[in-house]
Amino acid sequence: FSSQTMQAARCPTDELSLTNCAVVSEKDLQSGQHVTVKTTPNHKFVFTVKTHHTVTPGTIAFSLPQVHTHTQSLAQLSNYNFDKSKQCIGAMTIEIDFLQKKSTDSSPYDSDKMAAEFIQQFNNQAFSVTQQLVFSFCDKLFGLVVKDIEAMDASILKGEPASGKKQQKIDSGLMVGNSQVIFEKAENSSLTLVGKAKTKEARQTIINPDWNFEKMGIGGLDKEFSDIFRRAFASRVFPPDIVEQMGCKHVKGILLFGPPGCGKTLMARQIGKMLNAREPKVVNGPEILNKYVGESEANIRKLFAEAEDEQKRLGANSGLHIIIFDELDAICKQRGTGASSTGVHDTVVNQLLSKIDGVEQLNNILVIGMTNRPDLIDDALMRPGRFEVKMEIGLPDEKGRVQILTIHTNKMRNFNLLAIDVNIKELAAETKNYSGAELEGLVRAAQSTAMNRHIKATSTVEVDMERAEKLQVTRADFMGSLNNDIKPAFGTNQEDYSSYIMNGIIKWGDPVTHVLDDGELLVQQTKNSDRTPLVAVLLEGPPHSGKTALAAKIAEDSQFPFIKICSPDKMIGHSEISKCQSIKKVFDDAYKSQLSCVVVDDIERLLDYVPIGPRFSNLVLQALLVLLKKAPPKGRKLLIIGTTSRKDVLQEMEMLDAFSTTIHIPNISTGEQLVDALELLGSFSDKERASIAQQLKGKRVWIGIKKLLVLIEMSLQMDQDYRVTKFLSLLRDEGA
């Protein structure tokens, strides 16, 4: 027949509804024929016909989904013959969902088995784009919509290998045994598909496409970011079916640790932005704790509840939930160390452990913890499967500092508020051991200095508007802030050691020059030698011989970015334990810098040594012995300079062996040396010096340079005529 009009009706049985065929009487058409049904003037669907004895002649019966596509009571039919060379289905994409919303379940359906079943059920049938049909699989009914049909490669039909040409899209086609069926989950559907026959389309990527470091305002952490990416996100970017085949589990926890102000919190915040995940939940450690029993643990459970719920509903298709713990050490201290009787800390740690990687595993979470005290955190949290990726966010190097300063001055540069003489590279070279936060502070301080120039401080404070328009932040503003306002926490405290070299170094003879030369050698060794990352030297000599000044001078000349003096005057009245902790803190800070120098001044005072008894603090001694021998972490170098007046005591305490080398600082021992020292100090006139030289000629003297300074200053208080006499009598009284 060429065309005819028939009465549209409902399918007589449910089984016939599932065949996707239009059902007619055997008197009208034969089974297996294909017909075109016109639904609107411009739209036609092709159906395959099946005959059944219950259908009245002159009627065509449609299943319910087909009725949706054909709404008229009369159907215009025309015979349709497929051109087998062009209209066989190569690949057909079908959107799938449960037919009835109430019959949903979360068990995964294998899309490969589905595709095989589909081809068996519907072989040699006609399909059109946008057509709806019902499909029965595993005793469940699914509603399908045909999204897209690609014609089969003609070479395959001839039994030759595929030509590899892009196949053209067709409106309707014939399903054959080697057609490919691709299932796509309908939007908002809770159906879980597994296997290869799901989606050919590009998956939504987990990484935000318009993401870049500079915009995010993170500088100097490129290597750390790429490491975190490799460990934590590579597996999440890969197609899930390949990850499934590898049996690969995603990383669930990242621990960021390092000194304060280096960008841990900033980095965690940006990881959330970089991923196409939900807004991360940020939790400050102490907020979790609650005074009521069981509430703290409930707070932890609440954090994970949403992720658990989604995992149950959507399985592998669940989105990523990020939970960020700031100050992790507040809630995850070592279990069993708390003094409280309730042990709240311990139960919170237990709850967190079981949530991140307990018996019921969650695969859709990423927990990021941050702390500057990784040593306080319970060991069970650190194993793989929990906080697996441990990343030290250290002080930025010079390249990192250039990036950070560029980020913080970008806005000023864009609005032309940064003077041309500001050189970011020069600033980065000057700011050794500055953390990211300190660099930001430096930029702020320079801005304040610049603004201050434009404020008229009359009886009222007002801004000079004319000049404010021309406001520019100059190099001088930055340099001023660098020297006065912002000092790095892990840097050199100039005031610290400059007070020890107040009067300069007086080179009264060869011994002093030798000490400084040896010191310079040790500094070079620390810098350049990979075999000895730790160099410890002891300067010993009689009291007042200027040991501390020489130690401070060697440290200053080293130009190391971290210099700290560990001296007893900062620990007056401290208990033994707090003394040990203070000394340990100095060393811990030193390990964070690439190159460090620690001066341990006046060791016998640190040890509370007194000859009566004799008494000393064994705790501090043991702490120092350990720290003097402890090598710094890989890639870091440390120079330790100790000073003491009691070498014999340290020898007995077996402390001398802890130092790599000992340098002796002598007193002034001849009259000539003493006269040279007087000349360098320039305190007496030439005539007075000649008279003193006459008196001391050929005599042995024995006096420390520090003591000599005191005696000279005392003599200078006398009248001009008596100064020399007084000086010589003081020397005599001192037994020098």
Q: What is the CATH number of the domain that holds 692?
A: 1.10.8.60
User: What are 192-221's pLDDT values in tens digits?
Assistant: 777 765 554 333 455 555 555 555 666 677
Q: Which of 376, 392, 408 is the last residue of a domain?
A: 392
With CA atoms as reference, report the closest residue to 492 among 556, 584, 438, 428: 556
* For residue 354, pLDDT beyond 50: yes
20-24, 99-103, 154-158, 385-389: range with lowest mean pLDDT: 154-158
The reply to whether 366 and 446 lie within a common domain is no
Q: Which of 392, 416, 451 is the last residue of a domain?
A: 392
* For residue 172, pLDDT beyond 90: no
User: What are 122-152's pLDDT values in tens digits?
Assistant: 888 888 888 888 888 887 888 888 888 888 7
- The CB-based long-range contact list for 197-206 (8 Å cut-off, 24+ gap) reads 197/111, 197/112, 197/114, 197/115, 198/111, 198/241, 200/91, 200/93, 203/239, 204/276, 205/237, 205/276, 206/233, 206/236, 206/237, 206/275, 206/276, 206/277, 206/320
The reply to whether 157 and 112 lie within a common domain is yes
Greatest distance between any 2 Cα atoms in the chain:
148
Which pLDDT does position 294 carry in this prediction?
83
Distances (CA, A) of 500 to 509, 547, 550, 551: 20, 10, 9, 9
- Whether residue 170 lies inside any domain: the answer is yes
Which pLDDT does position 19 carry in this prediction?
80
The reply to whether 498 and 587 lie within a common domain is yes
- Whether residue 386 lies inside any domain: the answer is yes
Contact at 8 Å (CB) between 413 and 287?
Answer: no
Mean pLDDT of 554-576: 90
User: What are 437-491's pLDDT values in tens digits?
Assistant: 899 999 999 999 888 887 776 677 777 777 777 788 889 999 988 888 888 887 7
Mean pLDDT of 29-36: 81
The reply to whether 729 and 715 lie within a common domain is yes
Q: Specify the pairing of strand 534-540 against strand 661-664.
A: parallel
CATH number for the domain spanning 113: value is: 3.10.330.10
The reply to whether 376 and 234 lie within a common domain is yes
The reply to whether 596 and 651 lie within a common domain is yes
Q: For residue 576, name the pLDDT band (cuts at 50, 70, 90).
A: very high
Contact at 8 Å (CB) between 323 and 365?
Answer: yes
Which pLDDT does position 609 carry in this prediction?
92
Contact at 8 Å (CB) between 332 and 381?
Answer: yes
Q: How far apart, in whole angstroms, are the C-alpha atoms of residue 263 and residue 277?
A: 21
* Six token digits for residue 129: 């784009």
Model-level pTM? Answer: 0.64
Mean pLDDT of 312-340: 76
Which pLDDT does position 646 carry in this prediction?
92
- Bridge-partner residues for 367, per DSSP? 253, 323
Q: For residue 70, name the pLDDT band (cuts at 50, 70, 90).
A: low
Burial of 187 (0-12, 13-18, 19+ CB in 10 A): exposed
Mean pLDDT of 699-723: 88
- Bridge-partner residues for 598, per DSSP? 564, 640
The reply to whether 344 and 290 lie within a common domain is yes
Distances (CA, A) of 140 to 93, 104, 135, 531: 20, 9, 8, 71
User: Residues with Cβ < 8 Å from 443, sequence gap 6 or more?
Assistant: 405, 408, 409
By 3-state DSSP, what share of the chain in percent is helix, strand and coil, each rounded to 5?
40, 20, 35
Distances (CA, A) of 609 to 540, 615, 619, 646, 649: 16, 6, 12, 10, 9
Distances (CA, A) of 40 to 35, 44, 165, 395, 533: 15, 7, 34, 71, 85
User: What are 599-633's pLDDT values in tens digits?
Assistant: 999 999 999 999 898 899 999 999 999 999 999 99
Which pLDDT does position 338 carry in this prediction?
64
The reply to whether 121 and 246 lie within a common domain is no
* Six token digits for residue 303: 């954090």
Q: Quick one: DSSP state of residue 198?
A: B
Q: Quick one: DSSP state of residue 207?
A: B
Mean pLDDT of 567-595: 91
Q: Which stretch, 155-164, 312-321, 393-402, has highest mean pLDDT?
A: 393-402
- Whether residue 74 lies inside any domain: the answer is yes
* For residue 58, pLDDT beyond 60: yes
Q: Which stretch, 256-260, 292-296, 637-641, has highest mean pLDDT?
A: 637-641
* For residue 526, pLDDT beyond 90: yes
The chain-wide mean pLDDT, for the chain, equals 83
* For residue 86, pLDDT beyond 80: no
Which pLDDT does position 119 carry in this prediction?
81
The reply to whether 536 and 646 lie within a common domain is yes
Q: For residue 1, name the pLDDT band (cuts at 50, 70, 90).
A: low
Which pLDDT does position 204 carry in this prediction?
43
The reply to whether 241 and 379 lie within a common domain is yes
Burial of 279 (0-12, 13-18, 19+ CB in 10 A): exposed
- Whether residue 385 lies inside any domain: the answer is yes
- Whether residue 329 lies inside any domain: the answer is yes
Q: Which of 421, 453, 485 is the last residue of a domain?
A: 485
Q: How many domains does the chain have?
A: 6
- Whether residue 201 lies inside any domain: the answer is no
User: How many other CB atoms are there within 10 angstroms of residue 372's CB atom?
Assistant: 18
Mean pLDDT of 74-98: 81
Q: How far apart, in whole angstroms, are the C-alpha atoms of residue 300 and residue 305?
A: 9
The reply to whether 440 and 343 lie within a common domain is no
CA end-to-end distance (rounded Å), the chain: 135
Contact at 8 Å (CB) between 49 and 37?
Answer: no
Which pLDDT does position 202 carry in this prediction?
35
The reply to whether 548 and 441 lie within a common domain is no
Contact at 8 Å (CB) between 564 and 599?
Answer: yes
Residue 300's H or E segment, with its range, is helix 295-314
Residues designated as active site: 547-548, 601-602, 629, 706
Give percent of the chain with pLDDT exceeding 70.
89
- Whether residue 127 lies inside any domain: the answer is yes
Q: How far apart, in whole angstroms, are the C-alpha atoms of residue 220 and residue 435?
A: 10
Which pLDDT does position 210 carry in this prediction?
53
Classified as helix, coil or strand, 130 is coil
* For residue 226, pLDDT beyond 80: no
User: Residues with Cβ < 8 Å from 457, sequence gap 6 or more?
Assistant: none
CATH number for the domain spanning 538: value is: 3.40.50.300
With CA atoms as reference, report the closest residue to 54 among 32, 27, 19: 27
- Whether residue 717 lies inside any domain: the answer is yes
Q: How far apart, in whole angstroms, are the C-alpha atoms of residue 518 and residue 525?
A: 11
Mean pLDDT of 501-511: 85
Domain that holds residue 643: 494-666
